[in-house]
Amino acid sequence: ILQTSHNPAEDLQKCESKIKQKMIKGIIMLSSPADESFFAQLDKYDIPVVVIGKVEGQYAHVYSVDTDNFGDSIALTDALIESGHQNIACLHAPLDVHVSVDRVNGYKQSLAAHNIAVRDEWIVDGGYTHETALQAARELLSQSPLP
């Protein structure tokens, strides 16, 4: 089963129902929720769960495929700073997934390492859709000074 949505409780309920009916032998999750209670619940069923994203806990049957979002965010922000930029904003996806948390934390760490103040108004949730990201970008671009 390939399961993706933005409602972990609903996902868990659907997965558990299909597991109990012996309809599935494994799960691939396309995102990694920051609340890992989901993984603990699935782990008890002894079927493989592969997560595209970070998994912090230790589970017998949950596996992770991920990149270093934290380090990549530091590298990106460092590159902007080294190119002479100081007013750098961070437009991110919702913080209910590890990837977003790691990217925001990497951005903040890079700014701190370069003694640049973190401006909370320049860290904006762009949501999960084109429309919400566009609205968030417009909010950033309406600020003064301009990030």
- Assess whether pLDDT exceeds 90 at residue 61: yes
The pLDDT, as a whole number, for residue 123 is: 98
Spatial distance between the Cα atoms of 106 and 89, rounded to a whole number of angstroms: 13
Instruction: Please tell me the least confidently modeled range out of 22-36, 78-92, 111-125.
Output: 22-36
Is the model more confident about 37 or about 127? 127
Q: Is residue 99 over pLDDT 60?
A: yes
Tell me how far apart the alpha carbons of residues 6 and 21 are, in angstroms, rounded to a whole number. Answer: 24
Q: Which residues, in sequence order, are bridge partners of residue 28?
A: 2, 50
The domain ranges of the chain are 2-65, 69-141
Confidence of residue 126 (pLDDT cuts 50, 70, 90): very high
Residue at token pair 């301009």: 146
Please state the rounded mean pLDDT for residues 70-75: 98
Predicted local confidence at residue 1, as pLDDT? 60
**Where does 2-65 sit in CATH, by number?**
3.40.50.2300
Class of domain 69-141: alpha beta
Predicted local distance difference test score (pLDDT) of residue 113: 98
Instruction: Report which of 116, 133, 119 is spatially closest to residue 78, judged by C-alpha positions.
Output: 116
Those residues with Cβ within 8 angstroms of residue 98's Cβ, 6 or more apart along the chain or in another chain: 32, 33, 34, 53, 54, 55, 56, 69
27-29/2-3 β-pairing: parallel
21-56 residue pLDDT tens:
888 888 888 777 777 888 888 899 999 999 888 898
Q: Do domains 2-65 and 69-141 have the same CATH topology?
A: yes
